[in-house]
C-alpha cells in the first residue's frame, strides 16, 4: 500500500529549522520559527508554569481519563479570560490539542452543519487554508494586507464581505495577526462586527496571542465586539504562546450562541467529532493553565511574565523601526504592528540571499519573528535590510 503514496514535502517553516541548525556561522540569526525568545535566544518555561507543574506533581492523584470535553474548570477559566463576563451570550467549550486542534474541530463542525464556504483574509497563517481545505470547505479569499505599503486593505476586505452569503464562515484573527502583525482599529472592528451580523456570517475567531499585543483584555476587545454582534460564533483559543506551553498542545474551541441549548448542541457535536478522531485531549497543559488561572498568586506572576514578553516585543519593534528609519519610509509601521510577526516586502531571491550571504533566516514569504532578534543584532540586521526595503 505504501508504494501507492507520494512522498510529501516537509512543512517549509519546519524545514527552515533544519537549514538554520546546519549553518555553522556563529553570528547566524533565526527570524523564522514562530516561538517567543528572550534576549539570549531561549524559549524559557515561565515561572508560573514551573510552579503550577510543581503543585500538580505533588497533588495529582490519578492519571485516569478526565472527560470527553476535557477539563471543565480550565474551560470556564479560559472562557472568562477570552470572552469576559458580559458577552451577553452563552458559550460551551471543548478542550483541544492546541489552537490547531480547535481550528480543525471548528472546521469539522462547519462541514457537519453544511457550511460550504469559509472566507480567509490573505496573507494568513499558512496552516489555516490547509486545515479548512482538509474538511472539504471551499476557502474563499479576500485581501487583508498590502505588503508593499504595509497597510490593512480594509475597504477591499469589506467589499469582499458583501459577496459572502448568509451561513458562510469567516476566519478572523483576534490580535497580533500572523504573519503581518497588522490589526484593525476600534472603528474597523465595529464595522466588521456589523457586517458579520448583518450578513449573518459565522465568525471563527482565532485567538493565539492574547497578551502579546496591547494587553490581556485589549487584545480580545475586537473579538468580544464580534461575539456580541453575531448570533453565533466559534472561538478557537491557543494557550501555546500566552503561557509558553507550545509542546503541551493546549487550547479550546468555544461555541457561542444566544441560548445555552444551542451552545450545548454545538458542543455535543464537537465532542463526538473529537471522540472519533483522538478521543480526548492531553491533560497536562490544561491542568497547568487551570492551576495558574485559579490561583491569585500564580495568575499575577503569569501576568507579570506575559507583560514582560510583550514589553520585549514592543521594545524590539521600536528599536528595529528606528534602525531602519533612515533607509525605509515605512519603518514606523514595524513599531505600530503587534505581536511576534511582521511581513517584509522582500522577494524570494532576496530572502535566499539573506540566508546565504548573511546567515539571516526567515521563510520565503519575508515574515520575520521579531522575538528572534537580539538587541545586539538589530544594527546589523537593519543595515542588511535597508538597501532591500528602501
Contacts to ligand PLP by CB under 6 A: 34, 98-100, 125, 173, 178, 206, 208, 238, 240, 246, 251
Nearer to ligand PLP by Cβ, of 33 and 257: the residue is 33
Give min distance, CB of 23 to ligand PLP, in A.
23
Catalytic position from the list 168, 206, 283, 377: 206
Kind of pairing, strands 251-257 and 233-238? antiparallel
Give min distance, CB of 236 to ligand PLP, in A.
7
Q: How is residue 220 annotated by DSSP?
A: G
Q: Is-catalytic flag, 3?
A: no
CB atoms under 10 Å from CB of 14, counted, come to 10
Q: Is-catalytic flag, 331?
A: no
CA 204 centroid distance within chain: 12
Nearer to ligand PLP by Cβ, of 266 and 289: the residue is 289
Nearer to ligand PLP by Cβ, of 172 and 382: the residue is 172
Q: Is-catalytic flag, 125?
A: yes
Nearer to ligand PLP by Cβ, of 176 and 389: the residue is 176
Give min distance, CB of 261 to ligand PLP, in A.
29
Which three cell numbers, joined as nine digits, stand for 161?
A: 464581505
Nearer to ligand PLP by Cβ, of 159 and 247: the residue is 247
Please, what sign has the CA dihedral across residues 126, 194, 201, 223?
positive
Residue 136 phi/psi, 5° resolution?
A: 90, 5
Check whether the bond before 213 is cis (ω within 30° of 0): no
Nearer to ligand PLP by Cβ, of 173 and 355: the residue is 173
Yes or no: say if 361 and 31 are a contact pair by the CB < 8 Å rule. Answer: yes
Closest alpha carbon to 368 in 319, 315, 320: 320
Helix/strand/coil percent split, the chain, to 5: 50, 15, 35
Please, what sign has the CA dihedral across residues 230, 235, 241, 244?
positive
End-to-end CA distance of the chain: 53
Catalytic position from the list 30, 106, 108, 241: 241
Q: Is-catalytic flag, 328?
A: no
Catalytic position from the list 119, 125, 302, 328: 125
Residue 361 phi/psi, 5° resolution?
A: -105, 130
Give min distance, CB of 238 to ligand PLP, in A.
3
Residue 282 phi/psi, 5° resolution?
A: -65, 150
Catalytic residues: 125, 206, 208, 241
Amino acid at each position: 500500500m505504501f508504494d501507492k503514496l507520494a512522498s510529501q514535502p516537509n512543512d517549509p517553516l519546519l524545514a527552515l529549522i533544519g537549514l538554520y541548525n546546519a549553518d555553522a556561522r556563529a553570528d547566524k540569526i533565526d527570524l523564522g520559527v514562530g516561538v517567543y525568545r528572550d534576549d539570549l535566544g531561549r524559549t524559557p518555561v515561565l515561572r508560573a508554569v514551573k510552579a503550577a507543574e510543581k503543585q500538580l506533581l505533588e497533588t495529582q492523584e490519578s492519571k485516569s481519563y478526565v472527560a470527553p470535553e476535557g477539563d471543565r474548570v480550565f474551560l470556564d477559566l479560559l472562557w472568562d479570560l477570552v470572552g469576559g463576563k458580559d458577552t451577553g451570550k452563552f458559550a460551551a467549550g471543548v478542550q483541544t490539542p492546541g489552537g490547531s486542534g480547535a481550528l480543525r474541530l471548528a472546521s469539522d463542525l462547519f462541514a457537519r452543519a453544511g457550511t460550504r464556504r469559509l472566507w480567509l483574509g490573505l496573507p494568513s497563517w499558512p496552516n489555516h487554508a490547509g486545515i479548512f481545505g482538509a474538511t472539504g470547505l471551499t476557502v474563499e479569499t479576500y485581501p487583508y494586507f498590502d505588503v508593499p505599503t504595509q497597510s490593512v486593505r480594509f475597504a477591499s476586505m469589506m467589499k469582499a464581505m458583501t459577496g459572502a452569503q448568509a451561513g458562510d464562515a469567516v476566519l478572523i484573527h483576534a490580535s497580533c495577526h500572523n504573519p503581518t502583525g497588522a490589526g484593525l482599529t476600534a472603528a474597523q472592528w465595529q464595522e466588521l462586527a456589523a457586517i458579520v451580523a448583518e450578513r449573518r456570517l459565522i465568525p471563527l475567531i482565532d485567538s493565539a496571542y492574547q497578551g502579546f499585543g496591547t494587553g490581556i483584555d485589549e487584545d480580545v476587545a475586537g473579538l468580544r465586539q464580534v461575539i456580541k454582534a453575531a448570533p453565533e460564533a466559534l472561538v478557537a483559543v491557543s494557550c501555546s504562546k500566552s503561557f509558553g506551553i507550545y509542546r503541551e498542545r493546549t487550547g479550546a474551541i468555544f461555541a457561542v450562541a444566544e441560548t445555552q441549548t444551542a451552545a450545548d448542541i454545538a458542543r455535543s457535536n464537537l465532542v463526538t467529532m473529537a471522540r472519533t478522531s483522538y478521543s480526548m485531549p492531553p491533560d497536562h497543559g490544561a491542568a497547568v493553565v487551570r492551576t495558574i488561572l485559579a490561583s491569585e498568586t500564580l495568575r499575577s506572576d503569569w501576568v507579570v511574565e506575559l507583560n514582560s514578553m510583550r514589553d520585549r516585543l514592543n521594545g524590539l519593534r521600536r528599536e528595529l523601526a528606528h534602525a531602519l528609519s533612515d533607509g525605509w519610509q515605512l519603518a514606523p509601521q514595524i513599531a505600530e504592528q503587534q505581536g511576534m510577526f511582521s511581513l517584509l516586502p522582500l522577494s524570494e531571491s532576496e530572502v535566499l540571499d539573506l540566508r546565504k550571504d548573511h546567515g539571516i533566516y526567515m521563510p520565503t514569504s519575508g515574515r520575520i519573528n521579531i522575538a528572534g532578534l537580539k538587541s545586539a543584532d538589530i544594527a546589523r540586521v537593519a543595515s542588511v535590510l535597508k538597501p532591500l526595503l528602501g
